[in-house]
Amino acid sequence: MAPASSEGTYPDDLRYHEEHDWARIEGDQATLGITWYAQDSLGEVVFFDPPEVGATVQKDSSYAEVESVKAVSDVIAPLSGEIVEVNDALQDNPEKVNEDPYGDGWLVKVRLTSPEEAETLLGVQEYRKMLDR
Amino acid sequence: MTTAAARRTPLFEQHQELGAKIVPFAGWEMPVQYEGIREEHSAVRRHVGMFDVSHMGEVEVEGPGALAFLQRVLSNDVAKVAIGGAQYSCLCQEDGGVLDDLFAYRLGGDRYLIVTNAANHESDLAWLGRQSREFDVIVRDVADRYAMLAVQGPHARAVLGSALGIELPPRFHVAHAQVGRRPALVCGTGYTGEDGVELLIDPEVAAPIWAELLDAGVVPCGLGARDTLRLEVCFPLHGNELSPERNPIEAGLGWCCKEETGFVGSEAIARARAEGAAETLVAFEIADKGIAREGNPVLHDGAEVGVVTSGTFSPSLELGAGMAYVSAELAEIGTEIEIDVRGKRRPARIASKPLYAKRS
């Protein structure tokens, strides 16, 4: 069997959380989403239930739900912060989470309240290693 | 129940080769999807798909007392089934609770085959064995003799006719045929709301037949699409809509209960029919966003009035839909309800059955 990480794509410039979430950190803000592995496990995403702008999210806690035809999955925050934007385009086109999980399929943007948490996240090599275990 | 390793159908390797996502189901390792549930779903609605349903059980009932015995254990009027006919029934316990729902096929004068749900096969066998003692009949577990393929969709008949060169029986009939040069049964039944057949074939030829149908363009479909397809046409699933705690009247299956035949459970069901059920099975659609799931509470004016038995995203309707038991007085089509989806109240309305109807 080929290693699990060889199937999907995992950009180098992102930080990863064990629960298959990614963060793109830019200054005191971060864009969050789910990884290729997460969307592949879930199957075709048919609904994203976003949090409200202004809500606070806690690292390692669920802040939203994504649903496939068959299942619902909690989305875990890789970092703590306050929601400043949600990806409204997913309301009509939730399949973007599958098609482009790191681009048009982003979920929310947060203002980080504990930027130092980023150090606990995984780099791409560590995340790939975790998938292959 | 044994805790033996999960069983595999004769097509397990084919599913793996196709990259299916495999899940445990009723003690079996089954494909839940290949390319994706929506694609598979729409292949069956528009063209033709095939499902490996070899996990389902088969029981043969044979002997001079076969009809009398089946009349005793099955809810429908089995005497109405001619040789080559098929009929849907509930298997009920004394209090009317549903042990299983199944098709009975009449293969000969004194010979019938019933197809059980995988999860209930062993308990059905035990129940049938006990009930058969006072009848001149043999009840045989023949599940190992058959692989089962459901080939479903508007093009199913055309594709099967040319790929396998077999005569197809009309709906609700069964025919003997040769498939892969082995004896097979071709049943004009299915669980999708589309035309099609279910093939009961020799497990030895399951792999070549599967390959032949793949070559003919039949789309492999998993249990995920099987569930969305059946739910859109409001076919009940035992373990969700049907259970020993519910009788067929509540489930809207009064039409397949003929109490005058005196079957096990008929007295309780006659009472339930006369008195009317307190709760009844309805179809619902979520009004806006959200997908209700099994177990979600149903609310009306803020009070809990029922529970979702099956909920999914409907690929044909492109919205959350499903079935639920609700208080009978609220069962009217169009009634506004709310469904508590993990703490969020989603407006919904009671919809007519089936949720999806073919445009002809």
Which residues are CB-neighbours of B329 under 8 A, at least 6 positions away?
Answer: none
Residue boundaries of the structural domains of chain A: 16-132
Domain end call among B97, B116, B143:
B143
What is the structure's pLDDT at A133? Answer: 87
3 state DSSP class of B248:
coil
First to last CA, chain A: 12
For residues B45 and B150, membership in a common domain is answered with yes
Average pLDDT over residues B132-139: 98
For residues B167 and B21, membership in a common domain is answered with yes
Look-up: residue for tokens 């792999």?
Answer: B207
Kindly report the number of other CB atoms within 10 A of residue B238's CB atom.
Answer: 21
Asked if the model's pLDDT at residue B2 lies above 80, the reply is no
Q: Are B317 and B232 in contact (CB under 8 A)?
A: yes
Give me the architecture of the A16-132 domain, per CATH: Beta Barrel (2.40)
Asked if the model's pLDDT at residue B341 lies above 70, the reply is yes
Query: Do residue A46 and residue B291 have CB atoms under 8 angstroms apart?
Result: yes
What is the structure's pLDDT at B101? Answer: 98
**Domain harbouring B117, CATH code:** 3.30.70.1400
Which residues are CB-neighbours of B88 under 8 A, at least 6 positions away?
Answer: B76, B101, B102, B103, B256
Query: Do residue A44 and residue B36 have CB atoms under 8 angstroms apart?
Result: yes
3 state DSSP class of B19:
coil
In this prediction, residue A1 has a pLDDT band, given cuts at 50, 70 and 90, of: low
Which residues are CB-neighbours of B102 under 8 A, at least 6 positions away?
Answer: B74, B88, B89, B91, B114, B115, B116, B117, B124
Q: Is residue B260 part of a domain?
A: no
- For A33, half-sphere exposure in the C-beta direction (CA atoms, 13 angstrom radius) is 26
Tens digit of each residue's pLDDT (9 = 90 or more) over B230-255:
999 999 999 999 999 999 999 999 99
What is the ipTM, given to two decimal places? Answer: 0.87
Tokens representing residue B36 in the block: 């994706």
Give B8 to chain A, closest Cα distance, Å.
20
Domain end call among B216, B232, B248:
B232
Q: Which residue of chain B is at minimal alpha-carbon distance from A90?
A: B289
Average pLDDT over residues B263-280: 97
Query: Do residue B37 and residue A65 have CB atoms under 8 angstroms apart?
Result: no
Which one of B37, B224, B291 has the shortest CB-CB distance to A47? B291
Spell out which chain A residues touch chain B, with contact meaning CB-CB distance below 8 angstroms. Answer: 43-44, 46-47, 49, 65, 67-70, 72, 91
Q: Is residue B243 part of a domain?
A: no
Interface mutation target, options B37, B41, B340, chain A, most CBs of A under 10 Å: B37
Which one of B37, B228, B313 has the shortest CB-CB distance to A67? B313
In this prediction, residue B137 has a pLDDT band, given cuts at 50, 70 and 90, of: very high
Asked if the model's pLDDT at residue B3 lies above 60, the reply is no
Q: Is the dihedral of CA B238, B240, B246, B248 positive or negative?
A: negative
Tokens representing residue B195 in the block: 């035309």
Look-up: residue for tokens 């999980």?
Answer: A101
Helices (H), B116-219: 121-131, 156-164, 206-215
* Structural domain of B139: 57-143
What is the structure's pLDDT at B98? Answer: 98
Select from A19, A42, A43, A41 the least CA-distant residue to A32. A19
Query: Do residue B224 and residue A69 have CB atoms under 8 angstroms apart?
Result: yes
What is the structure's pLDDT at A2? Answer: 66
Tens digit of each residue's pLDDT (9 = 90 or more) over A39-85:
999 999 999 999 999 999 999 999 999 999 989 999 999 999 999 99
B354 touches chain A (CB under 8 A): no
Indicate the number of domains in chain B: 3
For residues B296 and B314, membership in a common domain is answered with yes
Interface of B with A in 323-352 (CB under 8 A): 342, 344
Tens digit of each residue's pLDDT (9 = 90 or more) over B29-72:
999 999 999 999 999 999 999 999 999 999 999 999 999 999 99
Strands (E), B109-181: 111-116, 138-141, 147-152, 174-179
Asked if the model's pLDDT at residue B162 lies above 60, the reply is yes
